[in-house]
Structure formats: C-alpha cells, structure tokens
Chain A
Amino acid sequence: MATFRFKVNGRDRRIETDPARPLLDVLREDLGLTGTKYGCGEGQCRTCTVLMDGKPAASCITPVREAEGRAIVTIEGLAQGGGLHRVQQAFLEEGAMQCGYCVPGMIVRAVALLESNPHPSRAEIVQWMDGNLCRCCGYPRILAAIERAAGAQPEGARS
C-alpha cells in the first residue's frame, strides 16, 4: 500500500492502494469512472485509453504509481459545460459506433491526435488509430468521424 496523488479530469485525487495496481482498476473501482473500458488487460486493444499529461496511455498496463503527479483525462473529462467535445460530437453525428464499447478509447486517442496535429491526413489518422480495436464497424465511420472533427469533409464514409 502506498499513497498516490494525481489529477483526474482536473480534480486532485489522493489514492491509497497497491502501487502495481492498473490505473484502469483505480479509475473504475475507486473513482467510479466506468467510462474507461477493459478489453484485454494487456495493452492490445486500447479500449482502456486515457490521456496522461496529454499523451494516450493504455490504462490497463499502466501501474497506478506511474500516474503519480500526472494529469489524467478520461472520457468523462472531455465534455465541458453543457456541450460535447468536438470529437464526441463528430462520433455522434457520423454514427461512428455500433455497440459503442470501443468508442471511449477511440475518442480519447483521437483527441490526442487532433491536439498535436489539428489537420491530419486520412493516412495519418489510419496510422494513429491502428491498434484501437473495433470489432463491430470495420472502421470507416470511425475514421470519418475523426476527419469530421478535424473540420475536413469526411471521405468515402457513405460510399
């Protein structure tokens, strides 16, 4: 047991727990932030993606000790005030989901992309999102939603 201090969605948190415990479990079980999902527990599906100091991280393989002193943003922390984040809005408008389970991880990772590269090409989006697994959609609408969020005309989503 040890004590860790970090910010989650702008709020200071103090957690007492086993240092090796995955950040995912701490977010879901201790902080009740169940928007971040488990898919594999081994860094292979990115369903559990959160931002750590603005960079995407697979929270299932991030021991909580690595969060010490960092700023974490989860899917719950994106919408500000009454409105959705533009990436959330784009996923909604593009209908970029079927079951929706992969969506939090997709959106969080896409937010990180647009923050560092506001106008990515289609190829850059595909490359960046590669590894975020979706089993339902076959990806076209997800990629189109990210293009839409970037202000581009979505390409070929409604062929």
Chain B
Amino acid sequence: MSAHGYKVVGTRPVRPDGADKVTGRAAYGADVHLAGLLYGAVLRSPHAHARIRRIDTRGAEALEGVRAVITASDFPPADAGRIIDLGEGQQTVAEVRGNMLASGKALYKGHAVAAVAAVNRHVAEEALGLIEVDYEPLPAVLTALEAMREDAPILHETLTRKELGTDTGEVSNVAEHFRFELGDLEQGLAEADVVVEREFDTATVHQGYIEPQNATALWNQDGRIHVWSSTQGAFVVRDTVAAALNVPVSRVKATPMEIGGGFGGKIRVYLEPVAALLSRKSGRPVKIVMSRQEVFEGTGPTPGSHIRVKVGARRDGRISAAYAFLAYEAGAYPGSMADCGAMCIFSPYDIANLCVDGYNIVVNKPSTAAYRAPGATNAAFAGESVMDEVAERLGMDPIDFRLRNAAHEGTRRADGPKFRRIGCVEVLEAMKNHPHYSAPLEGPNRGRGVAVGFWFNVGLASACTIGVNADGTVNLVEGSTDIGGTRASIAMQAAEVLGLRAEDVHPVVVDTDSIAYTAVTGGSRTTFATGWAAYEAAHDVLRQMKERAARLLETEPECVEYQDGVFRSGESRMTFAEVAARLNETGGPVTGRAGVNPRGAGGSYAGAIADVEVDPETGRVSILRFTSVQDAGKAIHPAYVEGQMQGGSAQGIGWALNEEYCLSPGGAMQNSSFLDYRMPTSLDLPMIETVIVEVPNPGHPFGVRGVGEANIVPPPGAIANAIYRAAGVRLSRLPMKPETVMEAIWAQRD
C-alpha cells in the first residue's frame, strides 16, 4: 500500500491488451479486412506550389480492375467557409477538404490531388500513373522568414493577415501575429545588469510513428458511413468525415483500431473521407494505407521555426525581462502552434516583465500537425539556451539560477492565467539532488547541460460507462484510443474507487456509436480526464451497489459502508462479488456512467540532464548519460510514466541531433525514408534514467497531471548546453548534426 493508502493507484499491473500485442492479434488499422474490399491509392503533387489547370482521369477509369477515381470535385456541395473545431484548433471546411484533395492549387510536394480504388494495390498504383494533371508550377516559399517578405509568393489569395486580433484585410502568408505581454518589457530591460539576445532556427521534424496512416470506409446503401482507422480520436474522425462530406455526424460511425503511435500526428484526418468518397462511387468498402514516403510528404510534420530570444537579469540572479519572437511555419494551411510555444517558452520562470510575439505563417510544406507538446520544444531550445548563457554571465550554477527564478503557485503565465500548485521547483530540486548532477564528468570534449520545459496539458470532454458482471468484475467502456497504456491507467482509477483489483476492471475502447463524445487522446489529457470520468462512473456504480447491498442486508443505503471490497452494516457483511451475483433479483443490472469536461488540468514540468561527448574532428555528438525528471502529479502506473519520459526523451534527442526535413530548393523532401530520416536506434541512446516527481494536481481526484508531453521539451536545450560545455560553442540551429557542430567549431577557431 502506498503512502496515500491507495491499493491500485501507483502499482504496476500488466496491461490488459498486452497478450494481444505480443501475439500479433491486436488489430491495427491496416489489418482491417471486409468482404469485397477494394484498395485505394492517392496521387500526389510533384510540385511544392502549382496551379492545377486540369485533371483528366479517363485513362485511369478505363484500366481493368479500377472501380472508382475521384478528385476534389467529388466532394458534395457545402458551405466552404463554415468553421469547424476538430480537436486541434479550428479550420474552415475548405481548408479541411483542401488538405485531403487539392482544389485549384497544390500547396506542397506530396499534396493529394486524386485517388483511385481498384481490385488490388498493384492496379490502383498503376492507375495513378494514368491520371493526367496539367500543372502550372509556381515559385515556392519554404521558410517563415522568406514567406513574411513583402514580395513573397502568396499561397492563398484569400488569406488575410490578422494583426493582434483584428483582420487587416491585407492578403498575406502571415495568417496571424499575436502578442502576449506582462508588465513593462522596456522597464525590465533597463533594470537588467546582463542582457543576452540570440537567434535560432529549428528544422521541420516528423512525429515518426512507425505505423503509417490508414483508413477503411464503407458508404452503405442506407446512407450511413462506417470508417475504421488508426486515430488519436474516433470522434474527431467522425466529425471531420461528416464536415468534409457534409452529412450529419449521426450518419458516420468511426471505429478506432489499435494505433501504432501518434504523438499528435494522428489527430488530423487525411484518408477517411477520401476512402468514403471512393466507397460511394464504387459501392464497395475501400482501404487506403500510406507508404512511409507518403507519411513524410503527405501528413503533418511539426513546424520549423525562426526564433529570437532576449533575456535580461540583475546581478542578484533575478530575471527582470524576457522577450521572444516566434515565427512558426504552419505549412500549407494556417495553424502552427506558435501560440503553444508562446504559452510555454517562459513558463518555468516567474518573470514580471515579458513579451512574446508569435507569427503563424503559411509556407509550401505539408500542413503541420501537433507533435508532443507542439510548439514548446522549438521554443524551449531557444529559451533554455539563452537562460543558460545568462546564468553563465552571472556566474551562477544553471540549476540555482533556474531555482532563483522558478515559477510557483501564483506566478502568472505569459498568456494570462495564474498557476495553481505546480511542480517546477520540485523538478529543479530533484535534478539538483540527482547523483547524475554531481557525478564527476572527466575527459576532454565532454560536457553536462541542463534544461527545463513546460507543457500546460488540457482537460476536454470524456465519457465512460461501467457495467457490473455477476462474477464481481466490471466492464469499463471508454472512447479514448489507447496509444501508450491508457486502458490500464484509466481502469486502475476505477478499480481504486471500486476496491477491486486492477485485473477485475476490463477496459474496452469502442466506436462512436457506442459511447458518448470523447475528445482526442492528446494534450496529455487521457489519464487525467478519461480517468476522471472512470472515477465518477465508478462512484456511480458504488452508489447503486450500496442500494443493492442495503436491500440484501435489510437496511438503508445510508447505513451501508464500503471498504476494501466489502459492504458492511453493523455485523452483517457482503463482498462486492456477492452483491454483484444477485443484481437481477435486486432490481436488474447496474451501470455506472459519467461525462466530464474538467477544467483543472495541471501543467507538467520536466527537466533533463545530459552528458555529451563531442568529437572535435567530426562534430559527432554522443550522449553519454541522460536523466529525465518530470512532475506526474500522481503516477497512476509508474512504469508507464517512466515509459513516457523515456520515449519523449528519445524523441527529443533525435530532434536535437539528427532529425530534419531536407528540402530541395524547389521544396521536394530529399530524405523521405527511414534510411535518410534518421530516428534514434537502440545504439544511439543511453539508458535513459527517470525520476518521477509527485506534486499532486489540486484539480484531479488522484492528483494526476498528464505526463505524455512535457518530457520532449527540455532535451534539445539540455544537449545544446552540454555541447557548449564540451566544445565551447553555442549552437543556434536544430538539428545539431555533425556539420552544424563543425561549422560552429571552425567559426570559433577563426
């Protein structure tokens, strides 16, 4: 039993879906098979920017075995300007459809232009080659700074720049400029004894989930549309399909299959409506599975960015002012998560005077999507590099400097809200006290760096029902797709309330016809919010079970106590299982239910300590030791919390050292394969050490904070700071690949 007296929360049971996953039985999206299934394939633009003058599909239609060919003109009529909220910010119907099948213009290399359904994949692919598209290539614009220039080629003739909340009416690639401000920046800079200002660039990177996007759809003769896919949110799929095809949401049923990783990238919908249109045209179910190249070129990576940071501090170690300029590449359509970067960049600090300017800019790259703490990692690389330099100039230890300025309860975040109880100080103290931080690091070209990061976490709607079985177990029905073990972390919260063992709660993730609305698995919300729904539903079960027990014990429900799986009234007692066995004679089945939309998502802080060795001849950086520290609020399943920390750290290390979209001047990705887009392998990574800090979130019954994201935020900054101590150079560009490191070393030698 843990210190809180919890019996299930805080333990490490085997996951309920584990056996299916180790035997290959777990059914992922690409594993769907239906009678009469056709295979779909998507034709993609070879140009990063081009007007589409004409598409001739007759050749493809004439090929034997082809059952349907579609283009954007096959979308049914709809109000293109209607704004819909799809779990990852708002978009118009035209934007949502435009990214699924280009209309008028292709806006990036890999942009879907047409699609085919055929009797097998081979025929479908052959048919793509018979579709004739007449393109008029246009100049492409590939970076935020280029796209901001007055004379830059314009992506959308209808996109006008929003300036500090008002639409200027001016056609621009800058969708939006926003500003967060606290105090008086100039005043704060005037008070500073030390001011450091630096510029940074970060490359576009991909979430890199191993399972490509996929979708199967059946447009039934009764007008109902059923889709199966790997998604972070079945209801997002349902709502997106409905919006794109202009049908009511109740006409669409979305079945979430097992999902092979997402990290934010499987919130947006690419294929389901396309498969549905092909199904309507062919009268058969249609499955589309992306290739790895299509995943890189046709799905949302995370934004590249240009960032400028200026921080001023007094000799006493206090930060007096901080400024950041964040220009984020949204890709082909507006929406870049610059706002999230702005919310996070200075959130580990209590700063009276600060200002963040954010720019959300369209460029001829794939429309970007969320990637684990979206927007925050780029920003923290820049912010934490500058903080490290300020600490150095003040002659302070980097953790002491951060502790001196750490955000705490009552600190105001850049975008306004005041923090409730947060764990920033505790995370920093855990870093300082960790043996890693004081361990000697000997040898030339070696250095140790630290950084901290923040992610705010979200709440959002979740539903859950629990049915009691006659053998004293329960079935827990939920709408949150399970990417990393949330079946277990949600079931454990119900088990704790019900006084049952974890394995007595059987969680099942169901389709959108079988549970009420549940938002995406994202924003580190699932264990927090769906766990809360399970907690409430379990209490609902308990209330009803007490009534049944009262009847059986011949007393009033108020007189029944429940503890450790036993109902008691005076001397009489009955176990949960005994009452469960007699439900039908005491009034019928018991179902608990809950729908929640909790507001109290507590933000999570994470820290990283990195030891690196830099090869001065090649610029290659090796990670010698790495420690990840994170505030989980309360770790429901500590092994899964550690798994999130290790996974997020590994992704952060890849982002820091290797990963990037290498584009040709014309905007074609040169490395759209795992051979050339190098993600960390087991040899690249050290054994990532983890420390879970628990500062309970006052906004959750068990104190849970989401843990999925904050852990990716500090690694690039920590590694940059370690490289500085190893090689004496401060790097301003991600990834910090050997060439980049060598350039900096040579520049310093000159």
Contact = CB atoms under 8 A, between A and B. Distances in A.
B22 A40 contact: no
Contacts of A103: 21-22
A36 B24 contact: yes
B647 A136 contact: yes
B25 A84 contact: no
Contacts of B19: 84, 92
A67 interface: no
Nearest to B637: A95
Interface residues of B, number: 60
A120 to B, nearest CB: 13
Nearest to A101: B260
A18 B639 CA distance: 46
A143 to B, nearest CB: 7
A95 B23 contact: no
Given A126-B682, A135-B261, A42 B28 contact: no
B212 to A, nearest CB: 7
B208 interface: yes
A103 B689 CA distance: 22
B670 interface: no
B130 interface: no
Q: Taking each of B24, B207, B262, which has the highest tally of chain A beta carbons within 10 Å of its own beta carbon? A: B24
B646 A95 contact: no
B649 A95 contact: no
Interface string B684-707: 010111100000000000000000
Contacts of A75: 23-24
Interface residues of A, number: 58
B688 A138 contact: yes
Given A34-B24, A103-B22, A138 B647 contact: yes
A126 B292 contact: no
B261 A101 contact: yes
Contacts of A156: 687
A88 to B, nearest CB: 4
Contacts of A129: 682
Interface string B195-210: 0000000000001111
A98 B641 CA distance: 11
Given A98-B483, A99-B260, A100-B260, A107 B22 contact: yes
Given A133-B679, A138-B688, A139-B685, 15 more contacts: A37-B30, A40-B292, A41-B291, A84-B22, A88-B22, A91-B18, A95-B12, A95-B643, A98-B644, A99-B261, A100-B260, A137-B646, A137-B650, A138-B680, A141-B639
Nearest to A42: B673
Contact of A35 (B23, B651, B687): B23
B245 interface: no
Contact of B647 (A36, A95, A101, A137): A137
A116 interface: no
Contacts of B262: 99
A32 interface: yes
A143 B207 CA distance: 23
B261 A34 contact: no
B210 A45 contact: yes
Interface in A63-116: 74-76, 78-79, 84, 88-89, 91-93, 95, 97-104, 107
Nearest to B652: A138
B258 A138 contact: no
Name the 10 nearest CB pairs between A and B, nearest first: A35-B24, A101-B260, A138-B650, A100-B21, A75-B24, A138-B646, A44-B674, A98-B484, A34-B31, A88-B22
A18 B120 CA distance: 13
A43 B675 CA distance: 9
Contacts of A44: 673-675
Contacts of A74: 24
Nearest to B675: A44
Interface string B656-694: 000000000000000001110001111101011110000
Given A39-B211, A41-B292, A135-B208, A32 B33 contact: yes
A135 B212 CA distance: 12
Contacts of A36: 24
Contact of A37 (B121, B260, B673, B675): B260
A156 to B, nearest CB: 5
B224 interface: no
B641 to A, nearest CB: 11
B642 to A, nearest CB: 7
Interface in B248-263: 258-263
Given A136-B484, A158-B642, A92 B14 contact: yes
B15 interface: yes
Given A76-B24, A130-B681, A98 B643 contact: yes
Contacts of B640: 95, 98
23 contacts: A18-B122, A34-B27, A35-B23, A37-B211, A39-B212, A40-B673, A76-B24, A92-B14, A95-B639, A99-B211, A100-B258, A101-B209, A102-B260, A104-B24, A133-B681, A134-B210, A135-B679, A136-B647, A139-B646, A140-B687, A141-B639, A142-B682, A158-B639
A25 B464 CA distance: 38
Contacts of B267: none
Contacts of B21: 97, 100, 103
Interface string A123-159: 0001101111111111111110000000000001011
B210 A39 contact: yes
A45 B646 CA distance: 19
